[in-house]
Structure 1
Amino acid sequence: MPLDSRDYKNMTDYLQHLYQCRPYARAGIEHPATVYYPADWQVLDVDSLLDSTPPTAEARDFAVYDYSYLHDLQNSKPALHNGQTFTLKSIREKPLKLRGGLGRYYDMLATCAALERELRDAVAEGWMRAPSRATYHRGVQPAEALRRGIKRSAAIGIGTLTVFNDAGRYKALLAKRSDATAYDSGMFHVLPAMMFGPTTAGFRDAREWSVKHQVLREVLEELFAMPEQLDPARWDFFADHPALRYLLSLLDSGGAQLCASGIILNLLTLRPEISTLLLIHDPAWHRRVTAPDSDMPLITAEETLSETVVAAPIQDDAAFLSHFPADLHLMMPAQATATLWLGIDLARGLISSEPSAIESPVP
């Protein structure tokens, strides 16, 4: 169950005091996340956020490990897969760079997701106590935990706000997560949102250490129902998908842009999320993917509740929020809230700098 406004504020205040950082704020509401912002030159180069050194395997050395929570998830969600993930080694600024390691999904659930579950449960019961978090910070100082992923499996996420031109009106996609997700089920999220990790067994190809590569693959999976593949023969197995070829042509021609808006650290989970924006200027894209006889129809994956997909206009905050329940932030993960508004602000700036939305011919 989502927290109410008072509990949400109390939880955010507690985390702000513990970590002594600036929480992300919007419209006077502070959220349990802090944002590292890219340099101007990094905005149009999403892979500039990544250290050039390919991730390597990390020792399984954890300060806390919630086996009970992990087992509960495994029993209630039998489709869970213990896939390989890219994890946080360190974050540095000026320029913003994230250095990565390799971990496993189950370890993230037992060390990071469990921290959020413990605190949310306590707050909902009227307590502000987090014994597992306290145990973790006996070995890792709070300030250090904001920049290094030590003693936990801080799997990296990527959230992408998709904004498209619908006959001259720019709209953003949001939808609720289904019960097929390990956690955050029933909460609104940006589309696509993903765990950042390799698909090839043993991370055979270092080219998978790429934000752009991951986002494009997840666009196909979450917006065009491309089946997820475990251990594909090729790292770029989806390269010939028609929706990808079309999107790449727009990116090459200026009809679309893939941008970095920051790296968000969720203070509840102590996990980083790379925040990105997919901005599609060409109105032909929306017409094509929503046409009744489309050759590349927009179809969401099973992780998304398809009946909850909302395309809301972004011209101003009030118009956007009018399409959602009140207190939308209470029904979103903290990193998704930040990704949403960072993306909307960035999109508005990029749209206003466009001389015109030039439509390309549909191939």
Structure 2
Amino acid sequence: MRHPRLCAFLAWLYGNEATTGRILQQNQIIFPAIFWPAPENAPLDPDAVLGTFQSAPATSLPEVFELPGQTYLRNLQKISPGLWNGRTYCMKAFDLTEGRPTLTCSSGHFFDALVSCDLLEFELLSAFGEVMPEEEAFPEFCERLTLRGTLHALGNPLHHACGRSAAIGISTLIIFPAEGVYHVLLRSCGSRLAYLDKFFHTVPSLMMQPMLADERMEYSVRHNVYREYLEEVFGAVEGEMPYTPAQYHDIYADPAIQYLQNREAAGSARLLLSGVAMDLLKLRPEICTLLLIDDPDWWLTHRQRLRPVTMVDSRCGSAANLLERSPATPLYAIKLSPELELPTGLLCPERFTPPGAAALCLGLNQVRKLLLYI
């Protein structure tokens, strides 16, 4: 559910809490996310967003989360028996260092994120489905959100992760030329809460997590993007966990990564930080990056190895119609206008994940400045 009134409620609740951050809006449509763009004066390497890292013990959640969290996790495991309690990198604090968004991080586990951040979304959507409050009833509606209210009492949840395991996600927008026109690459994904719905997300999009026993070795946005680039764009099979050091180096021996790194060295591909976003449904942070590929041979070289791609032009219609027309397609290459704009009506909160929408908007704004000099 991404009802406009729900998005308006979250903007009302958090709009004044975000120091220098902005509620995500496009064409006066509110999305359930807040974003902090990367500074415009100089493009940043994605790893510039990472502050200090502290290996931490298991997250201690408030007692009020315990019983509903256990029930929620059991239900998820019935639906998805393969859920894996992998390690994660988590936000401890978020601030702006000389205008640059910076995340101070610790380690955590995926199930702790589910029974804290994802549980917040479940509580919110359940309560909103029962009441659907008008704006004047927003303060009263807040009283129904026991878990969220508990976190708010511990401090500003946009800048501190007290009381939850705020696992960090990464959403990367790939922009590339095909047949002389720039395209964005998106993927379709499901939701743990709306099991029959499909959403658009950027690709690769991932949970930032270590696969090696030495979690400090993979404390890198760039490395995590490379790993998921192979899996989500090219369909590489994820190896057994934890990785061995040999598997770590195998990523960099893959021809697709070597091709990309060669283009980066030549200046015809750039992986840049575009900003940080907060999914207001889950109160979970997202590092947003842009992979801008100027090399026209990238598409010609890789299209046969890529996962199946649906080419989409400006007449695609709504996001819902597009997802319904090609439900089995994992990837979509969306043609941009000469002004690097999406097709009209495609971007909507009902069919885009909050971090995906944020990464898409941040990346497009950034690429217009880089390519159109605006």
Alignment TM class, shorter chain as reference: 0.7 to 0.9
Shift of 1:278: 0.6
Q: Does the CA contact (< 8 Å) of 1:261 and 1:275 recur in 2?
A: yes
Q: In the TM superposition, what are the counterparts of 1:224-303 in structure 2 within 5 Å?
A: 224-229=234-239, 230-234=241-245, 235-290=248-303, 294=304, 297-299=305-307
1:216 aligns with 2:238: no
- Secondary structure at the aligned position of 2:372 is classed as helix
- Are the equivalent residues in 2 in contact too, given 1:16–1:32 (CA < 8 A)? no
Aligned partners of 1:183 and 1:207: how far apart in 2? Answer: 36
Shift of 1:195: 0.1
Aligned to 1:131: 146
Aligned equivalent of 2:91: 88
Partner of 2:372 in structure 1? 352
Aligned to 2:212: 200
Q: Matched residues in 1 for 2:26 and 2:57: separation?
A: 36
Deviation string 1:54-93 (CA, Å, 9 cap, x unpaired) is 3312442112342111111111101111000000011121
Does the CA contact (< 8 Å) of 1:216 and 1:244 recur in 2? yes
Question: Take 1:163 and 1:182, find their aligned partners in 2: how far apart are those partners?
Answer: 30
Q: Which amino acid counterpart does residue 359 of structure 2 have in structure 1?
A: T
Q: Is structure 2 residue 162 aligned with structure 1 residue 150?
A: yes
Relative to 1, partners in 2 of residues 1:352 and 1:319: Cα closer, same or farther, differing over 3 Å?
A: closer
Farther-moved stretch of structure 1 (116-125 vs 8-17): 8-17
Equivalent in the alignment of 1:310? 332
Q: What one-letter code is carried by the residue in structure 2 that aligns with 1:87?
A: C
Task: For residues 168-223 of structure 1, give each alpha carbon's deviation from its aligned partner in whole angstroms, at most 9, with x where no partner exists.
Answer: 211101221147x788862111111000010013xx15231111111111100100
170-179 vs 279-288, which deviates more?
170-179
| Residue equivalent to 2:82 | 79
Letter of the aligned partner of 1:67 in structure 2?
Answer: Q
Q: 1:18 Cα shift?
A: 7.4
One-letter code of the match for 1:131? T
> What is the deviation of 1:96?
2.3
Partners of 1:207 and 1:62 in 2: CA distance: 27
Deviation at 1:300, TM superposition (A): 6.4
How many residue pairs match? The answer is: 337
Cα distance in 2 between the residues matched to 1:223 and 1:16: 35
Q: Kindly state the Cα deviation for residue 31 of structure 1 after the two structures are TM-superposed.
A: 2.3
**Residues 263 and 275 of structure 1 are in contact (CA less than 8 Å); yes or no, is this contact kept in structure 2?**
yes
CA distance in structure 2 between the partners assigned to 1:57 and 1:195 by the alignment:
18
Q: Which has the higher strand share?
A: 2
State the superposition RMSD in angstroms. 2.7
Partners in 2 of 1:316 and 1:75 — Cα distance? 47
Provide the residue aligned with 1:337 in structure 2. 357
- Distance change (3 Å), C-alpha of 1:57 and 1:332: same
* Residue 328 of structure 1 pairs with residue 348 of structure 2: yes
Q: Can you give the 5+ residue segments of structure 1 that lack an aligned partner in the other structure? A: 355-363
CA distance in 1, matches of 2:308, 2:56: 32
TM-score, normalised to structure 2's length? 0.82
Q: State the identity as a percent.
A: 30
List structure 1 segments (4+ residues) > 6 angstroms apart after TM superposition. Answer: 17-21, 181-185
Q: Separation in 2 of the partners of 1:166 and 1:323? A: 22
AA aligned to 2:12 is D
Counterparts of 1:350 and 1:317, CA distance in 2? 12
How far is 1:280 from its partner? 0.6
For residue 160 of structure 1, what is the aligned residue in structure 2? 172
For residue 336 of structure 1, what is the amino acid of its counterpart? G
Change (3 A) 1:18 1:35: closer
Q: Can you list the C-alpha shifts for 1:253-312, whole angstroms capped at 9, x where unaligned?
A: 11111011111112221111000011111110011112xxx4xx10169xx965153211
